[in-house]
Amino acid sequence: MRSLFGLLFPALLSAAAIAQDKVTLNNGDVLTGQVRTMTDGKLTLNSAALGDVVVPMAEVRDLQTAEQVQLKTSTGDLIRRRIAGIDSGTMRFHDAGSELVANLAAINPPERKEADWTGALKLGAGLISGNTERRSASGAFDAELRRTGDRLAADAQWDYAQDQDQATEQWNLTQRRTGGGLKYDRFVTETTYALATTRVLGDTMADLDLRWTAGLGYGFQLLDGAETKLTAEAGLSYLTENFRSGAPSNDYLAARIAYKLRHTFNERTKLIHGVEAFPSTENSEDVYFQATTELRTNLTDSMIGSIAWIWDYDNTPAPTRERSDHRVLLTVGWSF
């Protein structure tokens, strides 16, 4: 029995050594182990002695795998093959067939994760008692779904406030504002995209029953780094305003010019700043824009605190109303 074990043990070791993937480099060096992956032109081989070894695919002269691996071609096709070797830029397979190395995008590509919505839900409230009696509440929501070829964004805001008349003790409305928007981006290249957008707003104190815009345009992803993202957009939108007092409505075709900046200072705090403007193409006096600047920080893993300044400007407001509205909101909420 001992002699049989003595014969089998070296054979098993030899078989284990043979059943390894083999990578031959241009300089003649041979690496053995298990091919983990090849992406972005770099091959990762796990060696029992060296751990993960990363070599440029351009330095690989020959490659053989002991088992089938998943191959992704430059056209996106996925196939499973056992690689027999590489000859003159052509990868041969054990079960027949071949593929040009130049047409190979990845080996064992990582599984693509399903795109998730990201965003935040924020709530705020205020209560003042004494010489001034005031109660207020606010809410805001924003979300974004970013996929390989497109992006969908949505947002909504609500603000409400009342002040009490000291003489009559009657509560009077001082703020009631509700709005929201949707935007869809379809990427044409990695840095440019076509877009469709719409937005609605009602503001009682501004005598605005409904402001509605809808339009098409083109956008540019100027920066898309881990810390800083910057987009710029231009297009045309239809804008209509209806007033609660019965004043004549305001309708025009507008240019839409917008940009948005997101900058992450650290893992907890980020700055979000954006401007969306609608200058009329028919009357230079008809201009509306909104500018938003928000500083958002994580209080816990999911709880956030936010302070935001929002400036609305309408150069042709309802009669007797101001052109500018400024709001500073301090809210807490949850990110996802």
Q: What is the DSSP string of 77-120?
A: -EEEE-EEEEETTEEEETTS-EEEGGGEEEESPPPPPPP-EEEE
Give the mean model confidence (pLDDT) for residues 312-326. Answer: 94
The CATH code for residues 117-335 is 2.40.160.40
pLDDT per residue as tens digits for the range 240-270: 999 999 899 999 999 999 999 999 999 899 9
Q: Are strands 78-81 and 83-87 parallel, antiparallel or unpaired?
A: unpaired
Give yes or no for residue 213 having a pLDDT over 60: yes
Q: Are 26 and 61 in contact (CB under 8 A)?
A: yes
pLDDT exceeds 90 at position 87: no
For residue 9, is pLDDT > 60? no
Work out the widest C-alpha separation in the chain, in whole angstroms: 108
CATH 2.40.160.40 placement within the chain? 117-335
d(CA 272, CA 140) in angstroms, rounded, equals: 14
Q: State the DSSP H helix or E strand holding residue 4, giving kind and residue range, or none if neither.
A: helix 2-18
SS3 (DSSP) at 285:
coil
Instruction: Tell me what the mean pLDDT of segment 52-58 comes to.
Output: 90
pLDDT, position 105: 87
At 113, the pLDDT band (50, 70, 90 cuts) reads low
Q: What is the pTM of this model?
A: 0.68
The whole-number average pLDDT for the span 139-148 is: 93
Residues 151-205 have pLDDT tens digits of: 999 999 999 999 999 889 899 999 999 999 999 999 999 899 999 999 999 999 9
128 Cβ neighbours under 8 A, 6+ residues apart: 134, 135
Supply the pLDDT for residue 6. 52
Q: Which residue has the higher pLDDT, 236 or 75?
A: 236
Confidence of residue 15 (pLDDT cuts 50, 70, 90): very low
pLDDT mean across residues, the chain? 90
Q: Is the pLDDT of residue 210 over 70?
A: yes
What span, in angstroms and rounded, lies between the C-alpha atoms of 83 and 330?
60
pLDDT at 39 exceeding the cut of 70: yes
